[in-house]
Amino acid sequence: MLKFKKILIPKKYVLTIVTIITMVTIVVTLPNRNQVTMIENGLGYVVVPIQKILTKIQKWSNENIFFIFHAYELQDKNAKLVKELDELRYENTILQQYKQDNERLRNLLKLDQKYPEYPKVGAQVIGKDPGNWYNMFLIDKGTNHGLAIDMVVMADSGLVGRIVEVGFNYAKVLSIIDDTSSVSAQTLRTNEVAIIRGDKTLMDEGLCRIQHINIDAQIVKGDEMVTSHLGDLYPPGILIGTITEIKTESNGLTKYGLLEPAVDFQHLEEVLVIDKPWKGKKTNLKESTQ
């Protein structure tokens, strides 16, 4: 006679099995009835909260699994975007530099065309004295390029200064804002003559002093001043700058003023040199500042 072994189900699984069977029964029979039994209602109190928790866990898992799987992809994309942005910024910086270089060269060309009667040589600024201003600086052309002492230097829209020292492949330029510089000048509007000098006390403001103005001279703020035909160092008619202030000296006999140069003496990079001394006169530095 065959004997069957008795199978015992642990009590802790009984409730789970009954719950599953009941839920399946509810799902299968739901379309065919409108009411549920008391047992089903009781099980609902147990099953529904569990189902809510399971639903939240599933939703949380789906969201976080998506984030985990895509985090590295997003990180790589972000790194690529940052790299592209850096490259665009670099390219934009280069384009801005090209634009500025092109603008400076265009201004030099205009300056060259403005004074066609004077032969010129272009040069780069390669060094300057300590400080913010180009009152004394070096250019990359010298005797090998035909340059000599007292040759006139221009940039931007007007006069820079003149060469005071020259080597084979360099030259030193004294600008009009240096306190040892002196330029014979006249107003463009009324031809009133004066002397423009550099001044240490005015250099930080980027200004020059105008001296020896006749008390009756018709000079006003806003007048432009150019090099005078009375000077020996500079050809006449080169723009020097614009008058910003006119006052009467304490002696009451003459006037003085302030002038803003046409050249930006804080940002000099390229210059033009008139490659012959004016009138062939060889004047040393001491003579030019007396």
Q: Give the percent of the chain with pLDDT over 70.
A: 70
The CB density around residue 285, as the number of other CB atoms within 10 Å, is 14
* Cα separation, 211 vs 205, whole angstroms: 18
Q: Give yes or no for residue 144 having a pLDDT over 90.
A: yes
pLDDT higher at 96 or 269:
269
Of these ranges, 61-70, 173-182, 267-276, the one predicted with the greatest mean pLDDT is 173-182
Q: Of 169, 176, 181, 257, which is closest to residue 213 (Cα–Cα)?
A: 257
Per-residue pLDDT averaged across 15-22, rounded? 64
| Tokens matching residue 88 | 């665009």
* Cα separation, 158 vs 8, whole angstroms: 110
* Cα separation, 212 vs 136, whole angstroms: 25
pLDDT in tens, 219-252: 999 999 999 988 888 999 999 999 999 999 888 8
pLDDT score of 92 = 78
Contact by Cβ (8 Å): 176, 198: yes
Which strand (E) or helix (H) includes residue 261? strand 254-261
pLDDT higher at 199 or 80:
199
* Cα separation, 260 vs 90, whole angstroms: 35
- What is the three-class DSSP state of 212? strand
Which strand (E) or helix (H) includes residue 19? helix 11-29
pLDDT score of 66 = 60
* Cα separation, 173 vs 139, whole angstroms: 8
CA distances from 88 to 79, 80, 83, 97, 119 (A): 14, 12, 9, 14, 42
Which residues have C-beta within 8 Å of that of residue 237, sequence separation ≥ 6? 115, 226, 227
Q: Give yes or no for residue 1 having a pLDDT over 60.
A: no
Q: Of 137, 79, 178, which is closest to residue 273 (Cα–Cα)?
A: 137
Strand partners, 274: 120
- Phi/psi of residue 162, nearest 5 degrees: -150, 160
Q: Which fold has domain 120-276?
A: Thrombin, subunit H (2.40.10)
pLDDT score of 287 = 35
Q: Of 221, 185, 220, 206, which is closest to residue 262 (Cα–Cα)?
A: 206
Which residues have C-beta within 8 Å of that of residue 233, sequence separation ≥ 6? 150, 152, 162, 183, 184, 278, 281, 283, 288
* Cα separation, 165 vs 184, whole angstroms: 21
Q: Of 170, 186, 166, which is closest to residue 235 (Cα–Cα)?
A: 186
Which strand (E) or helix (H) includes residue 136? strand 136-139
